[in-house]
Structure 1
Amino acid sequence: MERFQISRATMYSICFYVIVACCRCETNPDIDFLIWGLERSTFILTCVCSEVTNISIKQVYLGRNMESSPMEPFDEALNYRSGSNKCFCSVFFRHRKQVDIWYCKLIISDNAAVIVFQGTLRFPEVYMPIPIKAWGKVYVALRVRNFGFIKLISVERKTVVFINRDMHVKLRRRQDSKFKIFEAEVNETSGNPLYVSEVKYEGVILQSSNTFGVITGTYPTNESTYTIESGLPMFSLRKHEYVTFCAEKGSCSVVVFSPFSRVFNITSLKHGRTNQYLDHPSHIVVVKNDSLIIQGKSHLQVQVFIERPDKRSWSMYTAIPSELFLTKYIIKLHDNTNDTAFLIVINTKGFDDIMIEGTNESLSATRLEYQVNYELLFIFCYELPENLEYEIYSVSETPFGLYFYGETSDGSFASPIALGNTGKDFNYRSSLSTTKPSKTTTTTTPWCIISNVTKGDKKDNDCDGYIDEELFNAKDDDDDGKIDEDTALDTGTGCLPGWFGTHCEKMCRCNDSACLPNGDCKQNVSCVFDFFGLQCQYKDLIHSANVSQENVRYRHLTPCHHNFTAKTPLTITFPWPTRISWIQIEAVSKDNLQGLKLRFSQTRNQSCYTGHCRHRREFYLNTNTLRIMCSAAQYVCRISIAFNAPEEERELCSIYISAGRNLALGQPVGMSSYYRDKLGIVSRRSLAVDGRLGDSWKSCSTTRLQDQDPLLRLSFLNPVLVEEIIIYFKVTVKNERFSINLLDSTDNVIYSSTGVIESIVSIIPSSQISLQTIDVFKQHSTSPLSICELEVYGECAPPMYGPDCSEICSISCNDQICTYEGYCKWCPNGTAGLYCFEGCLEWCEDYQEVTNATTTPRVTHVAYHKQSGFRVENVWLYVMIPIAIVGICSVFICTGPSRDLEKVPSEPKTYQQDFYQHYLLTKESEKTMFSETDNQTSTSVDVTDALNTLEIVTPSMTTTNA
């Protein structure tokens, strides 16, 4: 019978078409907006604007005791389009007396902008609500002390919001609501202000495991007026750039809040000067009466307060990052805004690029033109004469900023328009063009990006603080045996001696650094004594342990060159609690490994895992080498190896205890500052990931003494699964504490913890997590942060594996998690082997019990990703085939020739392309609208997730739980 084979590419193609079929059959979901009605409000008008021809709107009141007299209400779902109008407005309620806060929900069938006017009839304040589906889990907010407010709202039960790390508030359900609405208010007593300026502003960081909405504002002393803005959740942006304007009528204050004092620049459009802020003590900067360009390396909160000349009221608006600018906006004005109403347009294309439709009159505009780094920036103030709806767009389809500012006899108001003009997925796709480099110099050295070396280029190519230093001081600073420029070498591979890899990020672990360009050892060369495996990348822990038989440490280039008779039980005792990845045992033959049992036990004065190897997985690398994995993500102290028949002699060759491979080597590192000694030598950031242990200043990455919030950020080129993090500190102050944040690919904090700085600190996450960034930092410290080595052990995040995390793991593996070599980390129940293609002839009830207890005689000879024919253990594969056929057919059933997806064929994208694109984003400069200066990976420190914990252990065998 001819064997049936199916390739890996075919299997992925089948899965792809099944997914596409499901996606194409999905209908567009509704978009829900939650409208806040605040205290002291007597009037609320909501306008829905959309370009969709027919749109359905449904209004749902969320309060029981609301007295309302709606005018043209959205009482029930209706399709509307009145002539050429693109906006439809409804008065929600009108009262003479002021009422308490209330909520109303709008359910809209398609893409729309929602603009809300509220206040008194004589004075409306305006804000743009964010769709519920776009609410975030982390917010950074500014509050005016004494009479500012921050309100939190959620539709999820058990929502707890953490405030400035040390306090939290639980959102409680409103008693007068017939729907699930949970709310809370952050006031002066909810938590200690994390950042307070000398004037009257304080910064607040909010985080929850659930999504929630935020509105901020002020209750001025004049109770008839107030300000209100929607809180903008933290986005993962490529750049953090803000442009602010100040109205000519009255005084203006621009307040910039930089969490954890990350570096940012402020350029005055009026004077053309640029100031850089790095270590501002309050983390809040206030600039008076000036329009600004603000550029940072991480998230900033920028708010502008405009006070009327008569000082009767003020207005507030939140500056939107330029990356969120749009190419088209639709707005509707309220009846009482035509006293004085302005549209503020910010663009780089000039006056003729902006078109405003909605009036037959020519609009008068104040044109402000600024020259920024040899490029022009335009700010136009259009005075709007009538109560009309307006459509504003760019002729060249260039994104531009739009703000709304107005004055009435009783007050003033301002708001960004971008928040109300979003797509369904809240996905802004604008990409502002860059301009020529700036000649403006700053007071500190800009962030350095490691670059290729061109002799005499007058650049600090290796980011050690020197330019062409070896040519200048005639010293071999980079230990390459030559006196040349920076990292210029003649290795043939472009890497420093002792390094290899696509990006020179892997360290050669062969004796005498005798590695081939691909990382393999040269002929007749073995691994250094404490490393083994593919390219000698696995760390061997047995050399630091006490063993009952010294023969287990024997190593030779030829496998099983030496063998010994094992005396059971073999014991391996570690000097301190240690995490292991797996155990590898070489024997003379497979028969010598049958009936093998593993057990973990404690030692005196040490608390470790005790018991059998849980969820044991085993497979043979060859006929006499067995690898055993256990799923215990804990520290172990002693390993005992025994056999079912102890009277039988067992001929073993060697035993390896693997800690895994260090993923941090050669990865991009950023620091908040750099220490410089008396001789002018700068502490390099790469010292923390150079694979060399030492505790001198010259071998550690150290921040400067004046840095009160020092930080070191490690970024991976691709997401990784982390099993253990080991930090080698240089201790400068006893009992000083540090913090660590683990962030995903979108810069969201997924785990965090704090601990005491020791010489060696080991951290094991409480669960397997995929991350891309690690932040180690101190807060309000009087001493530098000095890290001599940062090691991260784990594997590539699924479904990738390999040296560059560019190979695809077999779909037969559990969760598509593979080892460095491509073997399955875990198998589904009933399967085994290198790639989980071998298994029982039936689903044995005692299969797991057997494999968890002793070694089985099963051995795999199946080639990588190959099927060996129709067999019972591969029945799951055959079940997928008819499912895949149904999926392919559904593609043609659910799609037609008129669908948009068929009009523009998409270009196929491979994981290899994703890898290089991500690497370029990490290595190359991040362009901004007004500067071509290279920026390093963002060094922002996000708030900690107090709901998650990490387990920390130090060499003194003390364990703390965060």
Structure 2
Amino acid sequence: MSTIQFTFAVFLLMTCSSRVHSQICEAGWFGSKCQFQCHCTSPCHSITGQCQGKSTCLKGWFGNACQYRDLAHVSSCNIVLNPRQPFSSWVTDRNDSTCNEDVTLESVALSWSTSVPFTWMRLTLNESVILRSLRVSFTSKTSSNATCIDTKLYLINNKTVDIRCKVIVDTTSVIIEGQGVKSLCSLYINGGRNVALKQNSAQTSTYTSPTVAASASKAVDGNTLGLLSSNTCMRTQSSDTCPNWNVTFDQSQVLTAIHIYNTNDAFPVCSGRCGLQLNKFSLESFNSSGTVFRYQDHSTTFTSLYEVTVAEMASGIPVNGLRLGLNRTNPILMMCEVEAYGECVPGSWGLECKKICADRCSSQCHVETGSCPVCNDFDDRSSCHTGCATGYFGYDCSQPCSQNCQNRECNSTTGLCFSCVDGYLGPDCPENVTENIEDHLLILITGLGVGLGVSCAVIASLLIVIIYLIGRGKQPLKESKPSPDYIQRDSIGTGTMDSHGYQIYVTPVRPYQNVSNTYIKVIGDAEVIQPPDTYINVTTKANDEHDDC
């Protein structure tokens, strides 16, 4: 090969390589395979998906490249502040600079009309993140006071923290309480990422016409318009007696919810509304071991959107894909979109789930950032077993106790002093007792001065009366009977004076009492349900004829 030929070959190779790595996606998509949908208020970066300029995430989305669904912003979510405020929009406006301004705020509660799966949430405060004054609880269909099991804390920045819990599949409300809510700016409830987009799909047959090609990929193209006539839905042939559709993920995923969008078309072949054709479908997730989760629909009327929550027994189990089918008389399978909400399996992270967690947190790194969890009152991130050294508290024991704490000792979780050095009091011992005592003494001396002055005036009055009586040569004083008026005055002068406001009581300063740990802790001691090592066939077969398909 000549030098010119070699140079040309190298140039051609570099050009092709450059084009592959700088693939330009169509508007609204990004990623190495253009498989992620943009959720910014204006066009996002075609490679990273990041919002550009002043653009922000659309309502209902948050996180890296706005890929995480926000359950705090769905229509079925209701937010209640206690005490109530005229507006609660600042909680979910995705603007971390708009924060609570009510110093009396005690709690923020989010509730849903239908249960939702809870995995983790993101909190942004207007001060450095200190979880010492926040507590989180849940209600579900099975519990009126559930706690965060197997808690993991991840610092996003110095004012934002993610709190991850063991999945609660039937959450009906989340309650956040404590002094920390007074500093709350933003709150997001993770609903997962749609991991089905642009994934490999197939179906047993495909309906075609001069204007419609209802292929399997139409159900994972990101279009939820719901019209087969717009060529955005999948459909099988009417001759297909056992139709089914499936999608296989590039990487194994842990699913929490599946959404299925029906078609709104009305064609003669459907004998009315085509959406009725989806009634009584069966849905299942699978991995290399077999079926993990199965759901059987029993509806007989039209439903535009099916929202299926993965059962508790199957939550946390990695799956490779989904399968949906019909097994009834004259079936025609048609639907417009399938969304599978979930995350990377433990040990991997990133939008494509191809990045591996660091060794020190090999199975519990953050699914979005890859960062290891931090420990609140422990000094080893890998296991959170080593307590803080004396003088430190908080996340990774990185915050020093107040210099006004006796021996610089404080609660390793809250930072509250066990006792104060001489001259100080309060939770962090900030209050100077000496200055307070001086003020109290001044009040006491003033009160005593007023009291003594009144007493002297009464005594002087008595002396004048006695001298007057002696001067008149009346009976000896011992036989005299003072008037009731004088008796009353004398009793006032020598008796107690608190009822007349002359004496000031200074309430003694009590030693500071540590607040209860139950007020501070975010986690509880609820039972931890370990996920099974192998898959579980959650339900029995949808019907006896299932294998026939």
TM-score by length of 1: 0.34
Partner residue in 2 for 1:632: 167
Q: In 2, are the aligned partners of 1:530 and 1:539 still within 8 Å (CA)?
A: yes
Distance between the aligned counterparts of 1:947 and 1:838, measured in 2? 32
Distance between the aligned counterparts of 1:821 and 1:858, measured in 2? 18
Partner residue in 2 for 1:803: 351
**Are residues 1:560 and 2:101 paired?**
no
- 1:398-797 aligned at under 5 Å gives the runs 493-544=23-74, 545-548=77-80, 549-556=88-95, 559-560=96-97, 562-565=99-102, 567-590=105-128, 593-601=131-139, 610-643=145-178, 650-677=182-209, 679-697=210-228, 698=230, 699-730=232-263, 732-733=275-276, 736-744=279-287, 746=288, 748-756=290-298, 758=303, 759-765=305-311, 766-767=313-314, 768-797=316-345
Q: Measure how far apart 1:499 and its partner are.
A: 1.0
Q: CA RMSD in A?
A: 3.7
Distance between the aligned counterparts of 1:799 and 1:583, measured in 2? 20
Q: In 1, are the aligned partners of 2:361 and 2:382 still within 8 Å (CA)?
A: no
Distance between the aligned counterparts of 1:673 and 1:613, measured in 2? 46
Distance between the aligned counterparts of 1:539 and 1:681, measured in 2? 31
CA offsets per residue over residues 56-110 of structure 1, 9 Å max, x none? xxxxxxxxxxxxxxxxxxxxxxxxxxxxxxxxxxxxxxxxxxxxxxxxxxxxxxx
1:638 maps to amino acid: S
Q: Measure how far apart 1:555 and its partner are.
A: 2.1
Alpha carbons of 1:513 and 1:609: their partners in 2 closer, same or farther (altered >3 Å)?
A: farther
Q: In 1, are the aligned partners of 2:129 and 2:161 still within 8 Å (CA)?
A: no
Q: In 1, are the aligned partners of 2:243 and 2:332 still within 8 Å (CA)?
A: yes
Moved more, 659-668 or 812-821: 812-821
Distance between the aligned counterparts of 1:614 and 1:512, measured in 2? 38
Q: Measure how far apart 1:500 and its partner are.
A: 1.1
SS where residue 769 of structure 1 aligns? coil
User: In percent, how many aligned pairs have the same letter?
Assistant: 23
Q: In 2, are the aligned partners of 1:608 and 1:637 still within 8 Å (CA)?
A: no
SS where residue 654 of structure 1 aligns? strand
Distance between the aligned counterparts of 1:829 and 1:564, measured in 2? 27
Q: In 1, are the aligned partners of 2:262 and 2:278 still within 8 Å (CA)?
A: no
2:148 maps to amino acid: C
Alpha carbons of 1:591 and 1:622: their partners in 2 closer, same or farther (altered >3 Å)?
A: closer
Distance between the aligned counterparts of 2:375 and 2:328, measured in 1? 49
- 1:314-393 aligned at under 5 Å gives the runs none
Distance between the aligned counterparts of 2:257 and 2:146, measured in 1? 21
Distance between the aligned counterparts of 1:506 and 1:654, measured in 2? 25
SS where residue 65 of structure 2 aligns? helix
Alpha carbons of 1:712 and 1:632: their partners in 2 closer, same or farther (altered >3 Å)?
A: same
Larger radius of gyration: 2
- 1:155-174 aligned at under 5 Å gives the runs none
Distance between the aligned counterparts of 2:238 and 2:329, measured in 1? 9
Distance between the aligned counterparts of 1:496 and 1:671, measured in 2? 26
Alpha carbons of 1:713 and 1:649: their partners in 2 closer, same or farther (altered >3 Å)?
A: closer
Partner residue in 1 for 2:453: none
Distance between the aligned counterparts of 1:537 and 1:860, measured in 2? 32
Q: Measure how far apart 1:610 and its partner are.
A: 4.3
> Greater share of helix residues, 1 or 2?
2
1:785 maps to amino acid: L
Partner residue in 1 for 2:490: none
Distance between the aligned counterparts of 1:626 and 1:608, measured in 2? 26
Alpha carbons of 1:690 and 1:608: their partners in 2 closer, same or farther (altered >3 Å)?
A: farther
CA offsets per residue over residues 115-150 of structure 1, 9 Å max, x none? xxxxxxxxxxxxxxxxxxxxxxxxxxxxxxxxxxxx
Q: Measure how far apart 1:542 and its partner are.
A: 1.3
TM-score by length of 2: 0.58
Q: Measure how far apart 1:505 and its partner are.
A: 0.8
Distance between the aligned counterparts of 2:160 and 2:285, measured in 1? 36
Distance between the aligned counterparts of 2:396 and 2:40, measured in 1? 30
Q: Measure how far apart 1:727 and its partner are.
A: 2.4
Partner residue in 1 for 2:545: none
2:323 maps to amino acid: D
Partner residue in 2 for 1:815: 363
Q: Measure how far apart 1:607 and its partner are.
A: 6.6
Show structure 2 runs of 5+ residues with no match.
1-18, 81-87, 264-273, 400-534, 543-549
Partner residue in 2 for 1:223: none
1:650 maps to amino acid: K
Alpha carbons of 1:610 and 1:781: their partners in 2 closer, same or farther (altered >3 Å)?
A: farther
- Structure with more relative contact order (C-alpha pairs < 8 Å, separation 6 or more): 2
2:119 maps to amino acid: S
Q: In 1, are the aligned partners of 2:199 and 2:220 still within 8 Å (CA)?
A: yes
Q: In 2, are the aligned partners of 1:585 and 1:627 still within 8 Å (CA)?
A: yes
Show structure 1 runs of 5+ residues with no match.
1-488, 845-855, 863-944, 953-962
SS where residue 705 of structure 1 aligns? coil
Q: Measure how far apart 1:576 and its partner are.
A: 1.6
Distance between the aligned counterparts of 2:194 and 2:397, measured in 1? 29
Q: Measure how far apart 1:713 and its partner are.
A: 0.8
> Alignment length, in residue pairs?
358
Alpha carbons of 1:587 and 1:782: their partners in 2 closer, same or farther (altered >3 Å)?
A: same
1:590 maps to amino acid: S
SS where residue 535 of structure 1 aligns? helix
CA offsets per residue over residues 528-550 of structure 1, 9 Å max, x none? 12111111111112122111233
CA offsets per residue over residues 857-897 of structure 1, 9 Å max, x none? 325889xxxxxxxxxxxxxxxxxxxxxxxxxxxxxxxxxxx
Alpha carbons of 1:821 and 1:680: their partners in 2 closer, same or farther (altered >3 Å)?
A: same
Distance between the aligned counterparts of 1:532 and 1:832, measured in 2? 30
Alpha carbons of 1:740 and 1:827: their partners in 2 closer, same or farther (altered >3 Å)?
A: farther
Alpha carbons of 1:723 and 1:591: their partners in 2 closer, same or farther (altered >3 Å)?
A: closer
Distance between the aligned counterparts of 2:289 and 2:241, measured in 1? 23
Q: In 1, are the aligned partners of 2:242 and 2:331 still within 8 Å (CA)?
A: no
Partner residue in 1 for 2:425: none
1:949 counterpart (532, 539, 545)? 539
Distance between the aligned counterparts of 2:154 and 2:252, measured in 1? 27
CA offsets per residue over residues 616-646 of structure 1, 9 Å max, x none? 2223211111211121331211111111x5x
